[in-house]
Chains A and B, each alone.
Chain A
Amino acid sequence: VHVHPENMGNKQTIFTAQQLDAYQDCTFFTRKEILRLFHRYRDLAPHLVPLDYKDNPDVTIPYELIGSMPELKDNPFRQRIAEVFSEDNEGNMTLDDFLDMFSVLSEMAPRDLKACYAFKIYDFNNDNFICKSDLEKTLLKLTRNELTPEEVNLVCEKVLDESDLDNDGKLSLEDFQHMIVRAPDFLSTFHIRI
């Protein structure tokens, strides 16, 4: 547990009061959690991130450092997660992106919001559809290439069979949401505690 002299007691000198209130309105976090998240962000690259965010400095942490966080380092989709939430879509995240990411992945985020971002994460080629190649990539990441190509093909066919309602050979956001909203495990597995 780090002790941070800059936010002892109720006085903190990192953000203005309006900034903190705005973050509280835009995420599911409380004031204390936002400050804690800021320090987690800063601990990834203390030389890059200043302690004073009142004038909204333009600071980005490169993907390599984000992907090495203990919460993300074992996740096979960490690169896609970082890409989806980052501003430059390359995985390099500002503090805003960082807060946004953990807010969506937190316990309090509603199902629809999570479904929307899950769709973006599994859409590897960013064409707003989960096509067969996206499914194959997902499956290979999930099983670390242990399945034979026939098995991969079979599973992807089955998935399209089950979820593709408008029958265009790929999953649109509506297809995906329709399927994921009924999944009993979705809320508990699409969740990172920080």
Chain B
Amino acid sequence: MGLLSHLGLQELYSASSEEESEEEEEVITEEDMAKLKDQVEEKKKLIATLRNKPSPMKQKLQLLKEAQEFVEKFEGALGKGKGKKFYAYKVMMTKKWMKFQRDFENFKTACIPWEMKIKEIESHFGSSVASYFIFLRWMYGINMVLFGLTFGLVMIPEALMGKPYGSMPRKTVPMSEQDSAMNFATLWDFGGYAQYSVLFYGYYNNQRTIGWLKFRLPLGYFLVGVGTIGYSFMVVIRTMASNANEEGGGDDTSFNFSWKMFTSWDYLIGNAETADNKFASITTSFKITQESILEEQENRKEGNIHLTRFLRVLANFLVLLTLAGSGYLIFFVVRRSQKFAQEGLDDYGWWERNEVNMVMSLLGMFCPMLFDIISPLENYHPRIALQWQLGRIFALFLGNLYTFIIALLDEINLKLEEEKIVKYNITIWEKNLYNGTWLENSTSRPPLDIDPAIVPRGPCWETMVGQEFVRLTVSDTLTTVITILIGDFLRAVFVRFVNYCWCWDLEYGFPSYAEFDISGNVLGLIFNQGMIWMGAFYAPCLPAINVLRLLASMYLQCWAVMCTNVPHERVFKASRSNNFYMAMLLIILFLSTLPAVYTIVSIPPSFDCGPFSGKDRMFDVIQETLDNDFPAWFGQVFTAATNPGLILSFILLMGLAIYYLQATSESYKAANLELKKKLQNSTKEQQVVMWIKKQMELILLISLLLRVPIHPMEEE
């Protein structure tokens, strides 16, 4: 049909060109023009979707050539008539745009790092272990963007255009700390020169604009903080949406055997040992699925339910005990560290200084092991046990994090109290300095010519918060590295070399080589990112530190997994959905922004440090910008828009929209189910119809057979 229309249009074109030679103005009729346009659009669409066609390459290349020739030929024809030049220009621009897009795609794919590393891991361990590394790479991408924002828009402007070190009290190390400011121990704790630098909140000046560019630093600082959270939300939700699009119907159990047969072999496997494991696990899973139905029935008969229930309740009780214990331990340790800080840290050794971070990291390391030991009591199917394990580790990390934050909030309140005292002391100190050379209520004071290092300082609670998060991240990194080196590497070395002189086979029995703990590592990654989101507002250096950490983590774990781990014997995914870990990330993102938003909205900023010093609340910077930099009507519109009545009605509208969408999606699901049932019923009906058909055929056959001898009898 395409060929015919091709011919038809050719005739049209030649006919019209004849016309054209007769009449310079009238060319092709409008109708034919529209038809031609449609054809050209169709061919263009064909070219765009050609790679999705399930035909052999030769055919595709042929189709492509034909389509391209057609488009080339008739695109010129369409250009005739009105707006010819503009149409040709549009065509040229579209071509250039497509070429640009293609080059950009090429560039983007060339930029993706670690592709070969991940491929090696995939071929040795299958797609589930590799999914952790793909997740890590994705996180690295997000952190690079966050790093770009904080580094480029906050740290660099202040470093280049802000007042230099030593020019203001907030930018100088106080006299009392100056001897120890360069010590490694102080720098490792992020005190000393590290504290009074662009790395932390306290260094920034509250000048409205800085430098010759008139860069509005406080506004920039605030917007970057909001922007990092906004960007993270957008990226996570976009990824979840695209995953949901690709997915099937979620937790469907109606195709178990078919899926086992057609989707259980992992085509990524490129290693003989992994392949052996995979064959064995597939065979076992086929055998078990048949047996498990029998097993379940047997279990029901045995009446062991009460014992199992009691054991499960006991296990949950122990777990709750552990969680409560770890929460209390953290609270206790944070209180103790406040006590140490008040008494001065010089009397205490390294452990006391870093107690909080070490305790949190150690708890994160040992409690999951404890849960692992408790779990056999419950006697669940491995996949369900894995889900419980994940849930408990999640609760553990969340509990620890929030206990930490509550303790931190306590400390902030203490610092706020301290600030009032310091403010009062400063006024007295200043009065002494002037020695009565100015009157109490005079508004203009002569500038003080004092070394900024001896000005008494307020306790800058924001920098303190930033420091705590940075220290936590660093100690977390160290714990991960040590766990890998000891838990995986030393264990593998031990099993490998001591096996020669040990009574039982270390490689097959206990302890054997470690398997890569996917879910533990993914959760660790998610929580680490949560800490970054929480602390990034108070320590702009945090995304940079995290980028370095992820880079080191990638190389270390790739090496460790290839060198010391063995492929899993049985693979259980925590959930059938790809979105499971994304959902957890989203929850953590939301929970991480809560404390940050709370502190921004309800706690007044320190009076002598940071870009918001002197303001009542940090978000006043927005109001200030609106008042000063935008035309008057803009401010009015904004104030009108933030009217509580309007906002409340907007929230109501959104709530209604959510309800409506939820209702429609439920109705679609129900319709889907109905159609499925109909399909099943129709097959049953078809079965009945086939059966009846068969019976009727049988009857007909018999009657035909019976008829044959009757005729001769009748004839006789």
Minimum C-beta distance from A105 to chain B (A): 7
Among B535-574, those with CB < 8 Å from A are 573
B679 in contact with A185 (CB, 8 Å): no
Interface of B is mostly: helix
Which residue of the partner chain A has the closest CB to B275? A74
Query: B272 contacts the other chain (Cβ, under 8 Å)?
Result: yes
Residues of B within 8 A of A109 (CB): 52
Set of chain B residues within 8 Å of A33, measured between Cβ atoms: 109
A-B interface contact total, Cβ < 8 Å: 175
Is the pair B261, A159 in contact by a Cβ cutoff of 8 Å? yes
Given contacts A32-B109, A190-B267, contact A182 B252 (CB under 8 A): yes
Query: For the complex, is B578 an interface residue (Cβ under 8 Å from A)?
Result: yes
Number of A positions contacting B (CB below 8 A): 70
Q: Is the CB of A30 within 8 A of B109?
A: yes
Q: 1/0 per position for A22-44, CB-CB distance to B under 8 A?
A: 10111110111100000000000
- Min Cβ gap B449→A in Å is 62
B119, B248, B270: which contacts A181 (Cβ < 8 A)? B248
Q: In the docked arrangement, what's the CA distance between A184 and B252, Å?
A: 9
B246–A187 CB distance below 8 A: yes
Interface hits, B388-446 → A, CB 8 Å: none
A15 located at the interface, meaning its Cβ lies under 8 Å from any Cβ of chain B in the complex = no
B282 within 8 A of A: yes
Give the distance to chain A from B44, nearest Cβ to Cβ, in Å. 12
Instruction: Among B51, B268, B271, point to the contact of A103 (Cβ < 8 A).
Output: B51
Closest A residue to B684 by CB, please name it.
A167
Given contacts A30-B106, A155-B257, A163-B258, whether A74 and B683 have CB atoms under 8 Å apart is no
List the A side residues contacting B258 at CB < 8 Å.
159, 162-163, 179-180
Chain A contacts of B261 at CB under 8 A?
135, 138-139, 142, 155, 159
Choose among A70, A144, A159 the residue that contacts B257 (Cβ–Cβ < 8 A). A159
Cα(A28)–Cα(B49), bound, Å: 11
Given A143-B282, A155-B257, does the pair A184, B287 have CB atoms closer than 8 Å? no
A142 in contact with B265 (CB, 8 Å)? yes
B263 x A77 contact (CB < 8 A) = no
How many of B's residues come within 8 Å of A, CB to CB?
65
B61 touches A22 (CB 8 A): yes
Nearest Cβ in chain A — how far from B688, in angstroms? 11
- For residues 87 through 105 of chain A, which have their beta carbon under 8 Å from a beta carbon of chain B? 87, 96-97, 99-100, 103-105
Residues of chain A touching chain B, judged by Cβ–Cβ distance below 8 Å, are: 22, 24-28, 30-33, 70-71, 73-77, 85, 87, 96-97, 99-100, 103-105, 109-113, 116-118, 122, 135, 138-139, 142-144, 146-147, 151, 154-155, 158-159, 162-163, 165-167, 176, 179-194
Among all A-B residue pairs, the 9 with the closest Cβ atoms: A182-B248, A96-B57, A74-B275, A116-B54, A158-B257, A100-B57, A30-B106, A143-B283, A26-B60
Can you identify 19 A-B contacts, CB atoms within 8 angstroms? A25-B64, A30-B105, A70-B123, A75-B265, A116-B54, A142-B264, A143-B283, A155-B257, A166-B686, A167-B687, A183-B248, A183-B259, A184-B247, A184-B248, A186-B248, A189-B265, A192-B267, A192-B268, A194-B119
A185-B576, A189-B265 are known; give 7 further A-B pairs, CB within 8 A.
A25-B64, A100-B56, A151-B286, A155-B257, A165-B679, A182-B255, A187-B246
